[in-house]
Structure formats: C-alpha cells, structure tokens
Structure 1
C-alpha cells in the first residue's frame, strides 16, 4: 500500500517507517522537520498541503502519528495543540474521504485517561491504584489530552458518517526522554523505564508493531480503540496493595527480581498508582508484545 505517515521524522516514525517498508509498503513521510524519511516537509495544519499530498501520491492508507506531545505543553500555546491535533486530524480525515483512502490509524495516548479527579487521588494518597481500560469515559486534565480526545471523536465521526475504517491506539509511554514523574529522581532513567514496563510503558519497537497490526486489522474492525502498553502481570485485585507496597506485589510475580535489581543497584517504586490494561489489544487486535518486564529481568540475568 501507499501509506502517508505523519510524524515521519519523529521517534515513532523512525521506527515505524522502516518496518512498513520491510513489509513492502511505499511510505510517504510528512513532518515539519526534514529528514531522510520525510518526503513532504510541512504541517498537517496546512489543509492545502495535506489534500495535495494525499491526492498526488495516491495514498491508500494514513497512519497519523505526528503531533505535539505532552512535554510540549510548557513551550506551546493551546492554539498550537488545537491546530495540529484537531484541525490537522480533520484535514487528514477530509483528505481520506475525498481521495478514497482505505484505512486510517491514529496514534492517541493513555494520558487522556487520567482525569483531574484521578490525578487528585494520586496526589492525595489514593487507597488503591487505578485500573484503566478502554471502557472508562475519559476526562482529560490538560490541553494535550483534550485535543487528543477531540481527534479520537473526529475519527469515530468519520467512521460513522463515511464508513472509513479507523483504529485508535492509546499508546503508553515510549518516548526516550527522561521520566517526569516525581519518583524518577530516586531511580536512574533505565531503572525508571524498566519499572514502568510493569504498568505504563512499552518500547518504541512494540509501538511500531502495534501500528502495523492496526493497519492490517482496520477494515475488519471498522472502528475501535485500544490501549497499547506492555502486558502487566498485575490483576485488579492487586490494586490496593500496589499503592501501599508495590515491591511486595512485584516480588510475588517475579521472585528473582530483588536479587537481579540489587546486583544492578536498581530499586522498585514503593507505590504504583495506575495500571493500563492492554488485554483488548491482544484479544481483538491480535497484537503480541515483544518486550515486557520479564524480558528486562531475563536480560539482567544474562548480563
């Protein structure tokens, strides 16, 4: 297929583009930042550019992974988020309908699932961790989440009104930047990211593979939303203890972890306040993650 990949110069785009090419697809990259993987330099907020790109390249599928991200909140006005995430997504959807695009994959975020009430619970000493699935009704707490959710609604609308097959992937953290969570100061960056694979992270390689799976399944799914995060070993009944004694719960599932972590000089978070459950992605999308917390422990053991 001829695929338009937005965000082609970014972290995910650089992992996803080569994977799609290896499968025989022709990739047209669109990004404001020039790179070897970006054929069209510009913004998705430029409606004429988007329409022209989809038309001239006879695009058959769109993977919309390009946008401002949560770390950009401090450096961009709200209007910039609206322009890229809402207007930009609308431009891509209109181009898809206008020129007969067959499938559409949208990269959303698990961040929009954390409401102000949930955040207040974390900060005020919640009695148990939040167990987060696709069944909950999101109430985003910032402009990043609000515009991502608005884009999701646009995707759903265009499926309803035009029959466009759309898969929305609410991805957990996979960015390379250091963690911004308060507990990250107690651990190294690698330690923090390893811990997060238990409940709120995945590798960029797995994020890319999830998009490949979504692209393949979109026509049969019609419209669907999936949480994409490394498989968690936890169960809902663990949520109370995850808040009070996360290391004990982790040791219950991974008895060797204390020894391996001690040898590395790593520590586990004392408390885990949320768990993203990716079960539906495995069951309906048929996606199998390649890297989990167990794989990290296996690598530590081999080392």
Structure 2
C-alpha cells in the first residue's frame, strides 16, 4: 500500500515499485497511480487499502507550501495522528514493514547562518515550522511503534522539487536529489535487513568531505573548481556564476551502508534535463515560489 500516491514523490515511488510488485495507492486526489480516492486518515478507507498488504509506504503529508494556509491542527491530524493510525492499523493486520517519507528540512535551525554544517543522522534536528515539527513528531511515533515484528524505515529526503537549473545543479552536490533516486531508496528499504528501526538521510552523493565545511562557507567557488571542475566549466560556458558559499552538506553514507543504495543522478543529469526542457528543471531566471521550502 502506498499513501500519497498522486503526489510527486508518491508517483515516483509507484513507478519504482510497480514493475515488481502489486501496489495499491490511496490519495485524496485522483491519478493513474491512485486506486482508492480518499483521506488515508479515514480508518475505514485505510483498512480497505491495507487488505492483503505486505508493506506500507507512507508518503502522504501536508508540506511546506501548506504552512500558513492550512491550520496547525490539520498538520497535527494528518502528519502525526494520521501516521500513527497508518502504523497501528498496518501492524494490527499483520503488515511487517513500513517505509516513511520524511525530510531533511526538519534540521531547520541546525544550519547556522554564515557557516557550513555537515549534517548526518547524528545531527540534532531543530525544526522551524509546524511542517518540520510534525514530521519529526511522526518519526518519533514510528520509532515507538517499531518492533522486531514491525520494521520501520524512515527516509529523510533532501530537496527534489523543480528549481532553476543553475540552483539545482549546485544543490545536487550538497543538498539535493533526483526524485528517481528518492524512489529507488524507498525500493531498497523494502527488503534490507538490520535493526527494526532505521533512519537514513537520502541525498545525492557529494564530492565534499567534512573538513571542507570551513572553505565552503567562505569560498565555495574555489573549492568547486578544485573538486568538481566539470561543473565549473559548464557554469562558465552557460554564463552562470558559481555559488560563493554553501551552508550545509547532507551526508547520505548511512543510506548506502544500511540500504545498499547509491544515488545515480548528479549535476550532469540536471543540465541534461534543462537542455531537453524537462519539466523537472526550470530555466535560470524563472520566478520560483519559495513556499516550496
């Protein structure tokens, strides 16, 4: 069963799974990947969707664009109470695994202005908004429910929504990921072994190391020319400026160790998508809503 199956992440997960497994999608919005149209937090609909399921992918949530538009109580109902309902119902009917789509956005205030933070699973989240707080609370709910009979995998995905090509290409080095890589990580989490509760950052592979943070904060362009010369050449060819600073690096090494997963799509794919006018990448200069963050 897949919640949020009509959303961008849900559709990508459906695509990754459906060639190998029967997937039943549930979402409030109709789409070709959705079989049950309704609120996943409706217990009757949820139990119908869970019938016969071996695993649950829980991607449905209220997100950053809903902050200030949707009441905080609705964030609590959907992101926290709804997640608890999904987990408890799944465990009750004999489902043995739940994969939860979380976000690196919940690190929030852990990124200190003017510096560069190396962020891994040991970094303490410091959420800023009701979105971040409820996703973190949902993770804690799942950790409390996980058991040897009910495995839980929490995947904190980094930025994957469409942005301008120059921004996305740079982000792909330290805080972004292709939506297909996100889906592949979810697929890998379906069968991996190890502890019954696991939490992983899922972000594109980085060329940087922890010791690079000081220079990344002060003169990222110099380090980029050294570590990723192909990117620097492309930026110059396209008339783009390299970023002067980078404020964080998401380390997804643990996802590689626990899930056996590795990202496939780096900055080169961003540029290729831009050149073929993929809807995944916007042209530089396009006005982008910051609400997506």
TM-score by length of 1: 0.86
Q: Residue 95 of structure 1 aligns with which residue?
A: 89
In the alignment, which residue of structure 2 is the partner of 1:53? Answer: 49
Cα pair 1:44 1:89 within 8 Å, conserved: no
Q: 1:86 aligns with which of 80, 87, 93?
A: 80
Change (3 A) 1:256 1:27: closer
Q: CA deviation at 1:8?
A: 0.5
Matched, 1:201 2:176: yes
CA deviations on 1:224-274 (whole Å, 9 max, x unpaired) are: 000000011111111111111111111110223332212122222211011
Q: Which runs of 5+ in 2 are unaligned?
A: 276-293
Task: Please identify which structure carries the higher helix content.
Answer: 1
Q: Distance in 2 between matches of 1:18 and 1:62?
A: 15
Shift of 1:298: 8.4
Which range is displaced more, 104-113 or 219-228? 219-228
Q: What does residue 175 of structure 1 align with?
A: 161
Q: Is the 8 A contact 1:43 1:84 kept in 2?
A: no
Shift in alpha-carbon separation, 1:175–1:255, aligned structure 2, 3 A: closer
The corresponding residue for 1:135 is 122
Pairing 1:111–2:98 present: no
**Count of residue pairs brought into register by the alignment:** 275
Partner of 1:270: 244
Q: How far has the Cα of 1:223 moved from its partner? A: 1.1
Match of residue 139, structure 2, among 152, 155, 163 = 152
CA contact (8 A) 2:165 2:270 kept: no
Q: Does the residue aligned with 1:209 lie in a helix, a strand or coil?
A: helix
1:295 to partner: Cα distance: 5.1
Q: CA deviation at 1:221?
A: 3.7
Q: Give the CA deviation at 1:14.
A: 1.5
1:75 CA displacement: 1.7
Over the residues paired in the alignment, what is the CA RMSD in angstroms?
1.9
Q: What is aligned with 1:185?
A: none
Q: SS state of the match for residue 147, structure 1?
A: helix
Contact kept? 1:105, 1:166, Cα under 8 Å: yes
SS class of match (1:284): helix
In structure 2, the partner of 1:186 is: none
Which 5+ residue runs of structure 1 have no aligned equivalent?
Answer: 179-188
Q: Runs (4+) of structure 1 moved beyond 4 Å?
A: 294-301
